[in-house]
C-alpha cells in the first residue's frame, strides 16, 4: 500500500496540524504537548496498540491513558485519524459546549477515551488500576492455551504528573505488585506553565522509578521513531516490571518560534505562527485538512478487525472448553450482578433484623461482606493500611500480592492512590472495587473520590470511624465537615447507617448502583439494634423513613442518622411522656431519599410540620435544608477534642436533653 512508504514524521505532523488548528479555532487549549508527543503517539497507535476503532469496547483491547490530559487534542487527533467515530467536525468543535471534544478527555463524551484525565497524576493512577485489573482478571479466568485476557496499558504523562504526590503513591505500588504490562511514556520536555522546570523539579526520575522496581528506559529521543519502537520492544520483553520510557522531547515541536518554550504550553500558537509552522513542517494543507493518503496510512480499522476476530476465535474455543468460566466472565464484564443476588441479599437483611445485634456498624459491614462476598466474585476489596480497623477483610479474602487471582489489595498508606486506582479498576471492567480508610482521611483521597462521581463509576468507599465518636484520637482524626462534602458531590450516594440492618441495606444499595459511587460511613462504637416492621425494613432502601411513629397528632419531627438515631429515639420517648406528638425519621442516605417521589417525601416529612430538629455529630449547617431556618440542628460547629466518647457528646451538647429542649422550643 502507498501508505506504508509515507515518512513517519509526515504522519506525525498530521497530529501537530490538527492540534494547532483546533486550539487556534477554540482560542483556548494546549498545543505544546500534542505537538511534542506526536512522534511517540504515531509509533504507538499505528504500529503497537491493540485496538479496533469500530469496536471501541472490545474486551481485550489495550488501554491508553493520557495522564497529561491538558494535551487532549493529541488523543482526539489519534482517535480521528485511526478511524474512531470522531469526525473532523467534532475536532472543529474543540472545547465548545456539549461537544465530543471537551477541554480535557472525559469518559463518556468521546468514543475511545478510557478515563477522564486533567487532574495531573490521576491518569497514571488510573493506568495502574487498569493494569492491576488486567493482571487479576487474567489470573482468575485464563487457562492453559486460553489467554482470553491479555493486553497492555499504555500511559502518557508529563512533568506535572510526576510532581504530583499521587505519582509516588501509585508508582511505588505498581512496582511492588510487578505490573509488567504497564508501560508509561514520560514526556520529558522540561517545560511547565511557569517555564523551565529546573527551578522546581530536579528529581532524578530514572533513579526514582528504578527504586520503585520499574524497568527504566532512556532518555531516548522522543522524536526518533526507531528509538521509540525499540524502547517498546524492550518494555514488552520485561514481563515482571512496569516500564517507564523517558522520552526527551521538544514542547510544541514544529513551531519555529515557540517550540521549546512555555509560550506554546497552554495558549494558541497564533495565526502567524501557524503559517510559519506549516511551512517549517512542509504541511501544504489548509486548516483541518488531512490528505487521503495520510488517512489511509493512519486507519487502523482493518488491522483492528483482524485482531478482534482472531481473539474472538480464541474466546469461542475457550467458551467450548470452559463454558461456565466464559459465562461468568461475560457477566462480570457487562457489570451485571448474579440473577439470584438480590433475593439472597434481602434474605440476609431479614436475618440481621431477626438477630438484632448491638454492634459497631463497621462490624456490621464486615458481616455483610461475609454474607455477600461468596455471592460476588467480582468484589475486589482493599484498605489503606487499616484493614484491621476498617474491617474490610472477610473470610474469603486473598491478597493479590500473594495470589494474583486473589480479591483483596493491601494498598498501604495511600488513600489518594487507592481511590484513583479503584477508578481504573472500575473502568477496566470485571470488578466492583471497594476500598477503605477512616472518614477523616477521605480528605487525602478527595479528588479521586470526585472523579469517581464525575465518571459515574461503581466504586464503593468504606469510611469508618465516622465522627467525634472516635474519641481519644482527637480532632485530627475526628471528621466534622466530611459528610457534608461527600453529600454535596453530584452522583455520590452517602450512607450513614444507624445499626446492623441499615448497614446491610447500605451495602446492597451500593452494590446495585451502577451509575455512580457510594460512600458507606460506619461507626467505631457499638450501635443499638432498632426494631422495625416489614414496611419500615423495606423503606430503608428509600433513603429515609419513619422509624418511630408519633403518638396522637404530629407536632414535631426529629431527623437523625447513624449513631445519633439511638439518642433521637430516647428523646422522642421523653417527649411522648410529656404528651407531645413527635416522630423520629431515620435518614441514612439523603440523595436516595431526595430521588423518591414527592408523595413519599411528603409522607415522611410533612411540609406543614415546621417544628423540626436534626441530630448528627457532624457539620450542623448542612441540615438546615431539612429543618428550615426556623428549625434547630444539634451537631458540630467546631472541630472535636480528645476525650472518651461519652465526655465528648456531653461537651458538645449532643445529648437527649439538648434534643428535648430543642423540640420544646419549637412546638
3-state SS record for 432-450: EEEEEEEHHHHHHHHHHHH
Could you tell me if 175 and 212 are in contact, meaning their C-beta atoms sit under 8 angstroms apart?
Answer: yes
Burial 400-430 (b: 16+ CB within 10 A, else e): beeebebbbbbbbebbbbbbbbbbbbbbbbb
Cα(384)–Cα(414) distance, rounded to whole angstroms? Answer: 6
For residues 49 and 215, give the distance between their C-alpha atoms in angstroms, rounded to a whole number. Answer: 20
Backbone angles phi, psi at 655, to 5 degrees: -135, 165
Is 378 among the residues known to form the active site?
Answer: no
In 3-state terms, what secondary structure has residue 627? helix
Q: State the burial class of residue 310 (Cβ atoms within 10 Å of its Cβ: 0-12, 13-18, 19+).
A: exposed
Alpha-carbon gap, residue 504 to 370, rounded angstroms: 11
H runs (alpha helix) in 261-414? 271-281, 292-298, 301-321, 323-334, 341-355, 361-372, 387-390
Is residue 27 a contact partner of residue 103, using CB atoms and an 8 Å limit?
Answer: no
Gap between the Cα atoms of 83 and 53, Å rounded: 5
CA 283 – CA 14 distance, rounded (Å) = 8
Gap between the Cα atoms of 409 and 40, Å rounded: 33
Three cell numbers, residue 451: 472523579
> According to the 3-state scheme, what is the secondary structure of 36-69?
HCHHHHHHHHHHCCCCCCCCCCCCCCCEEEECCH
Q: Cα–Cα distances in Å, from 304 out to 53, 134, 299? A: 7, 20, 9
DSSP conformational letter for 314:
H
Among residues 169, 415, 502, 616, which one is catalytic?
A: 415
Neighbours of 492 (CB within 10 A): 22
In total, the chain counts a number of residues equal to: 667
Q: How many angstroms separate the CA atoms of 368 and 523, rounded?
A: 15
Q: Report how far apart, in Å, the C-alpha atoms of 521 and of each of 197, 203, 328, 482 are.
A: 41, 39, 31, 10
Burial of 204 (0-12, 13-18, 19+ CB in 10 A): exposed
> Which residue's entry shows cell 481511590?
419
What is the Cβ-side half-sphere exposure of residue 261, based on CA atoms within 13 angstroms? 11
Grid coordinates 504550553 are at which residue? Answer: 265
**Residue located via cell numbers 482524626:** 477
Cell 491478597 belongs to 399
Residue position matching grid coordinates 492453559: 144
Cell of 628: 428550615
Q: Which residues contact 132 (CB under 8 A, 6 or more apart)?
A: 174, 177, 179, 400, 409, 421, 424, 425
Q: CA–CA distance from 2 to each of 80, 224, 295, 467 (Å)?
A: 20, 22, 11, 68
Show which residues are catalytic.
415
Amino acid at each position: 500500500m502507498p501508505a506504508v512508504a509515507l515518512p513517519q514524521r509526515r504522519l506525525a505532523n498530521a497530529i501537530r496540524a490538527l492540534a494547532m488548528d483546533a486550539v487556534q479555532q477554540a482560542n483556548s487549549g494546549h498545543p505544546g504537548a500534542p505537538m511534542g508527543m506526536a512522534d511517540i503517539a504515531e509509533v504507538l497507535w499505528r504500529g503497537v496498540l491493540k485496538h479496533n476503532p469500530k469496536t471501541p469496547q472490545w474486551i481485550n483491547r489495550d488501554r491508553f491513558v493520557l495522564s497529561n490530559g491538558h494535551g487532549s487534542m493529541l488523543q482526539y487527533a489519534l482517535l480521528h485519524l485511526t478511524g474512531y467515530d470522531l469526525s473532523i467536525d467534532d475536532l472543529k468543535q474543540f472545547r465548545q459546549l456539549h461537544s465530543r471534544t471537551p477541554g480535557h478527555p472525559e469518559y463518556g463524551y468521546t468514543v475511545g477515551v478510557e478515563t477522564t484525565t486533567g487532574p495531573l497524576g490521576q491518569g497514571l493512577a488510573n493506568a495502574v488500576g487498569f493494569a492491576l485489573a488486567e493482571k487479576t482478571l487474567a489470573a482468575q479466568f485464563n487457562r492453559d492455551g486460553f489467554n482470553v485476557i491479555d493486553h497492555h496499558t499504555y500511559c502518557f504523562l508529563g512533568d506535572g504528573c510526576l510532581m504530583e504526590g499521587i505519582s509516588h503513591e501509585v508508582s511505588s505500588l505498581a512496582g511492588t505488585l510487578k505490573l509488567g504490562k504497564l508501560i508509561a511514556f514520560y514526556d520529558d520536555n522540561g517545560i511547565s506553565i511557569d517555564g523551565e522546570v529546573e527551578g522546581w523539579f530536579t528529581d532524578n526520575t530514572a533513579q526514582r522509578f528504578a527504586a520503585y522496581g520499574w524497568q527504566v528506559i532512556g532518555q531516548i529521543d522522543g522524536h526518533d521513531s526507531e528509538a521509540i519502537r525499540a524502547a517498546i520492544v524492550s518494555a514488552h520483553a520485561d514481563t515482571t516490571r512496569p516500564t517507564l520510557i523517558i522520552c526527551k522531547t521538544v514542547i510544541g515541536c514544529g513551531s519555529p518560534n515557540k517550540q521549546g518554550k512555555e509560550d506554546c504550553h497552554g495558549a494558541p500558537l497564533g495565526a502567524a505562527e501557524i503559517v510559519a509552522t506549516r511551512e517549517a513542517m512542509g504541511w501544504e494543507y489548509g486548516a483541518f485538512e488531512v490528505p487521503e493518503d495520510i488517512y489511509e496510512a493512519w486507519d487502523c480499522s482493518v488491522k483492528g478487525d483482524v485482531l478482534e476476530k482472531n481473539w474472538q476465535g480464541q474466546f469461542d474455543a475457550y467458551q467450548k472448553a470452559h463454558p461456565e468460566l466464559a459465562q461468568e466472565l461475560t457477566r462480570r464484564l457487562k457489570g451485571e450482578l448474579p440473577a439470584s443476588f438480590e433475593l439472597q441479599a434481602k434474605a440476609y437483611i431479614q436475618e440481621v433484623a431477626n438477630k438484632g445485634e448491638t454492634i459497631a456498624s463497621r462490624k456490621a459491614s464486615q458481616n455483610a461482606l461475609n454474607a455477600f462476598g461468596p455471592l460476588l466474585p467480582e468484589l475486589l476489596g482493599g484498605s489503606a493500611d487499616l484493614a484491621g480497623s476498617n474491617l474490610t477483610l472477610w473470610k474469603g479474602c486473598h491478597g493479590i500480592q500473594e495470589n494474583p487471582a486473589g480479591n483483596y489489595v493491601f494498598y498501604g498508606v495511600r488513600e489518594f492512590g487507592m481511590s484513583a486506582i479503584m477508578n481504573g479498576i472500575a473502568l477496566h471492567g470485571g470488578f466492583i472495587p471497594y476500598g477503605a480508610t477512616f472518614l477523616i482521611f477521605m480528605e487525602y483521597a478527595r479528588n479521586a473520590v470526585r472523579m469517581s462521581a464525575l465518571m459515574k463509576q461503581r466504586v464503593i468507599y468504606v469510611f469508618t470511624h465516622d465522627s467525634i465518636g472516635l474519641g481519644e484520637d482527637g480532632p485530627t482524626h475526628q471528621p466534622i465537615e466530611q459528610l457534608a462534602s461527600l453529600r454535596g458531590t453530584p452522583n455520590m450516594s452517602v450512607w450513614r447507617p444507624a445499626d446492623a440492618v441499615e448497614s446491610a441495606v447500605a451495602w446492597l444499595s451500593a452494590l446495585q448502583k451502577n451509575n455512580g459511587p457510594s460512600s458507606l460511613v460506619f461507626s467505631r462504637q457499638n450501635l443499638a439494634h432498632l426494631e422495625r416492621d416489614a414496611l419500615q425494613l423495606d423503606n430503608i432502601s428509600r433513603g429515609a423513613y419513619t422509624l418511630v411513629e408519633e403518638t396522637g397528632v404530629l407536632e414535631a419531627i426529629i431527623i437523625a442518622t447513624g449513631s445519633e438515631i439511638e439518642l433521637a429515639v430516647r428523646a422522642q420517648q421523653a417527649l411522648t411522656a410529656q404528651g407531645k406528638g413527635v416522630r423520629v425519621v431515620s435518614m441514612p442516605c439523603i440523595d436516595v431519599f431526595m430521588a423518591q417521589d414527592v408523595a413519599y417525601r411528603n409522607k415522611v416529612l410533612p411540609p406543614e410540620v415546621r417544628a423540626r430538629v436534626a441530630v448528627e455529630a457532624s457539620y450542623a449547617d448542612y441540615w438546615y435544608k431539612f429543618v428550615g431556618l426556623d428549625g434547630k440542628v444539634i451537631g458540630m460547629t467546631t472541630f472535636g477534642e480528645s476525650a472518651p466518647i461519652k465526655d465528648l457528646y456531653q461537651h458538645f451538647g449532643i445529648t437527649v436533653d439538648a434534643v428535648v429542649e430543642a423540640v420544646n422550643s419549637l412546638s
